[in-house]
Amino acid sequence: MSTYVKVRKGKSKAGRKQGPRVMLKPPQLESNIVISHKFRFTATAGAAATNIDGLCLSGVAGAVGTFTNADVQPIAESFRIKKVSIWSPPAAQGGNATCAVEFKGGATGFIASKEFTDTSVSTSQPAYVSCRPPRGSAASLWQNPVTTNNILMSLTCGAGSIIDVDLDYILTDLFLSAVTPLAVATATLGRQYYLALDNGGGGGHNFVPVSLTTTF
């Protein structure tokens, strides 16, 4: 708890004025670096209930090449999902498009999975869903994918869909081995990459990041 003293000026009670509060020690500090960012992806092909796990999201927030053409090291030690949005256009007139986000239940098993979905038959208006993880679901909680590879959500959408993921994440200040490295096919030592949303370390790369340097 910070300690203050009051500096008083003047001797008259009637005209007494209080000076500024002087802090005797620095205030407490939340030292972790927390970042909030919206990451955007495009679907190069249609997807049906593609699973997104904790390792996927650790690569989304950024990773640095540690072994040439082998491994990258995530820069975030923990994260949580704030919101997911999908725009999925029909491929042609007379067709339809469906997009969906299913958040998986909590680790205790007492929270049911919940799915948000939308369908469109109009080429001028894509199917659209925007949702937040239900309270108590695995996706709503801070995740640290050091030893586990838990599925947080699954995505369904058509080719050409746009996917936005709003993420809170904490930059690691631990020794690198404390954060699970991700396997990739191509990487330059020391270079930073932003992995596909569905790449959980040697996984898929259908949901490609927009305007960020990536690899797989």
Provide DSSP, the chain. ---EEEEEE-S-STT-EEEEEEESSPPP---S-EEEEEEEEEESS-EEEEEEEHHHHHHHT-EEEEETTTEEEESEEEEEEEEEEEEE--SSTT--EEEEEEEPPPTTS-S--EEEEEEE-BTTB-EEEEE-PPTTSGGGS-B-TTS---EEEEEEE-TT-EEEEEEEEEE--S-GGGS--EE-S---TT-EE---TT-SSS----EEESSS----
Q: pLDDT, tens digit, for every residue of 71-118? A: 898 999 889 999 999 999 998 888 899 999 999 876 555 678 899 999
Mind listing the domains of the chain with CATH numbers? 31-209 (2.60.120.220)
**Predicted confidence pLDDT, tens digits, the chain (216 residues):** 555 555 555 555 555 666 677 778 888 888 889 999 999 999 999 999 999 988 889 899 999 998 899 889 899 988 999 999 999 999 888 889 999 999 987 655 567 889 999 999 998 899 999 999 998 888 998 988 765 568 899 999 999 999 999 999 999 886 555 678 888 889 999 999 999 999 865 567 899 999 999 988
**pLDDT of the residue at 201:** 56
**pLDDT of the residue at 47:** 94
Q: pLDDT, tens digit, for every residue of 165-174? A: 999 999 988 6
